[in-house]
Amino acid sequence: MKFNSLIQVGGRLLDLSIPQVMGILNATPDSFFAVSRAQTEEAVCKRVEQILSEGGTMVDIGACSTRPGGALATEAEERERLQMALGVVRKEFPDVVISVDTFRPNVAKMAVEEFGVEIINDISGGDDYADVINSDDMSSMFSMVSRLRVPYILMSSMNNIHDMIMEFARKVQVLRSLGQKDIIIDPGFGFGKTLDENYHILNELNKLQILGLPILVGVSRKRMIHQLLNITPDEALNGTTVANTLALSKGASILRVHDVKEAVEAVRIIHNL
């Protein structure tokens, strides 16, 4: 099934018929890959400049690390970190498309209403979705993003493609009933999956196209790569590029990455085939 390749971002149309690269900026002290961390205004500027100069078209800003074994930042800590980073990016790069990586509805509200963030990237998968059908409860991320009217990245922690498709179908139906228009699905590599399950899903990624929605893939330097190859995250660039190229060949529309230049080159090669 073909998907509508155009999504609305801040009053503009973004065409995903050619895959886009989303660069990661972590406004945190503890994200697993140090190069993506930016805790000062200068570091934020430098990181965004790098993402854009290497061909990235979106910046995904996170302020609450969800790395395995890590402690979650409080909502107040996440909000404060984001306010610093978003303030800098909006001032210095006013036209860049910003995605905010958060599972907290009130943080999403702040990011969109105060800084004009265009996309919400939610790793929780809207776990409370069953309670929000025909509800105006803004404590639910589904209700919140539907009211904010921004594209929403919906992630799954399911460990096989069949269950993932069924879950996505149910949740997309709820989102549509709430008026949500632009939905991007994320198979959630590294979340709730064993090493083998991650690779089975990557191998069958093309099956998600039955949902008719753009697919975001985030495998950058994750454990599924460095554990398999018996290397460190710092050594996982080559493995990441291989996995990204496979994902593109199976229908990925957005690559969420630490290493933008290499991902952009993979897109160019696959798009030229």
**Active-site residue set:** 222, 256
For residues 63 and 102, is the Cβ–Cβ distance under 8 A?
yes
Bridge partners (DSSP) of residue 13 are 8
Nearest to 183 by CA among 241, 254, 249: 254
Q: Are 122 and 103 in contact (CB under 8 A)?
A: yes
Q: Which residues, including other chains, have CB under 8 Å from residue 70's CB and lie 6 or more apart?
A: 30
**Residue 83 identity:** Q
